[in-house]
Chain A
Amino acid sequence: MGLEGHDPLKNGFLTTRLDALLAWARKNSLWPMPMGISCCAIEMMAVVDPRFDLSRFGSEVMRFSPRQCDVMIVAGTVTYKMARVVKKIYDQMPDPKWVISMGACASSGGMFRSYAVVQGIDQFLPVDVYVAGCPPRPENLMNALLMLQKKIAEGETGPRKPVHIDEKVG
């Protein structure tokens, strides 16, 4: 991103400081796009209520317009009919963007092994963090957001290899 092409010293002092500054700014203001489809959406609503406040980590508002968001939280079972809609909304988000797959249904189809359910959204979307649970507790979703922030601070600008949920957040 930015100045690598222009600066003769590729990993020079100026570019790495600028990268770190941009990464710090990006990770502390991740506005989520809530793709709340089913039961996990209720736990996502519970994450923003006064008890498990999510806005203290920078996710101040949940904007429902994809053009204003950084991270899409897919919460709920994605069916084949809904998959086209999810992909359309994902395409409308501006770069850099990340995806959190919340819950068992979004990560792998969950308990619904049937003709209408996509067995995991990574069949058509690149995913950064998978959150296990049915539904995951709100603290679990906050852990996932912090893990994503750590990943961004290390310099990832887009989805690369996903982070395992057991890794401790620094």
Chain B
Amino acid sequence: MTYDEILKGVTAKFPSSVISSNIYRGELTMVIRKSDIIQVCEFLKNECSFDALRDLFGLDMNTPIDRFFVAYNLYSLATRRRIRLKVPVDEKDLNVPTVTSIWSAANFHEREAYDMFGINFTGHPDLRRIYMPEDFEYFPLRKDFPLMGIPDSIPLPKK
């Protein structure tokens, strides 16, 4: 299936979900509405044979509306095609439905997105921090967090 066919299939079945799409340097990216992400992912997995979720991560665009994005990197082993989905998330409503029921690979990736950006994945079996200690209060990869960190945010043992 070529990229045009995939794009036509998705826009035909879910006309209101696809906000925009583009092909850049040979890669297809589709921006999907947050509420329809589960149906689109199920369609892509079952009909278009995208059986592997290779990556899932967050993006901070630092714009006043739709500040964050969650990006999904899908790969099809049968047709050897890659596709990227992006879901805009507003800062006031940081809940995104989880896709762990479709691909179990999303487990650790969603925990990392929660740890780094604070995006809450509803329905995740075990949403807690993965890289930073459990009691860390900030979200490091947001653009307003400084590179050197906030002093004394993690205590150091005494000499």
Contact, chains A and B (beta carbon distance below 8 A)? yes
Cβ contact within 8 Å between A87 and B148: no
Q: Which of A24-32, A58-66, A78-86 contacts B (4 or more CB under 8 A)?
A: A78-86
Interface centre among A80, A84, A118 (most CB of B within 10 A): A80
- On chain B, the residues within 8 Å of A123 by CB distance are 156, 159
* Smallest CB gap from A91: residue in B: B157
- B:6-36 near A, CB below 8 Å: none
* Smallest CB gap from B140: residue in A: A115
Interface size counted on chain A using CB atoms at 8 A: 14
Q: Which of B145, B146, B154 contacts A81 (CB 8 A)?
A: B154
How many A-B contacts at CB < 8 Å in the complex?
Answer: 36
For the complex, would chain B's binding face be called helix, strand, loop or mixed by DSSP majority?
Answer: loop
Taking the complex as formed, is A125 at the interface, i.e. its CB lies under 8 A from any CB of chain B?
yes
Q: Which of B133, B147, B158 contacts A113 (CB 8 A)?
A: B147
What CA separation (Å) do A80 and B149 show in the bound complex?
A: 11
Cβ contact within 8 Å between A87 and B157: yes
- On chain A, the residues within 8 Å of B133 by CB distance are 80-81
Shortest distance between the CB of A109 and any CB in chain B (Å): 10
- A:88-143 near B, CB below 8 Å: 113-116, 118, 123-126
Cβ contact within 8 Å between B156 and A114: no
* Smallest CB gap from A119: residue in B: B148
Taking the complex as formed, is B132 at the interface, i.e. its CB lies under 8 A from any CB of chain A?
yes
Cβ contact within 8 Å between A124 and B158: yes
Shortest distance between the CB of B81 and any CB in chain A (Å): 36
Cβ contact within 8 Å between A115 and B159: no
Q: Which of A83, A115, A116, A126 contacts B157 (CB 8 A)?
A: A83
Interface size counted on chain B using CB atoms at 8 A: 16
Cβ contact within 8 Å between B156 and A115: no
Shortest distance between the CB of A97 and any CB in chain B (Å): 14
- On chain A, the residues within 8 Å of B153 by CB distance are 115
- On chain B, the residues within 8 Å of A87 by CB distance are 157
- On chain B, the residues within 8 Å of A126 by CB distance are 159
- On chain A, the residues within 8 Å of B131 by CB distance are 116
What CA separation (Å) do A118 and B147 show in the bound complex?
A: 13
Contact with A along B135-159 (1 / 0, CB 8 A): 0000010000111111001101111
Cβ contact within 8 Å between B132 and A114: no
Contact with A along B41-77 (1 / 0, CB 8 A): 0000000000000000000000000000000000000
Shortest distance between the CB of A7 and any CB in chain B (Å): 33
Q: Which residues of A contact B (CB under 8 A)?
A: 80-81, 83-84, 87, 113-116, 118, 123-126
Q: Which residues of B contact A (CB under 8 A)?
A: 131-133, 140, 145-150, 153-154, 156-159
Q: List 11 additional contacts besides A81-B132, A115-B153, A118-B156; criterion CB under 8 Å.
A: A80-B156, A83-B157, A84-B157, A113-B147, A114-B147, A115-B145, A115-B146, A116-B132, A124-B156, A124-B157, A126-B159
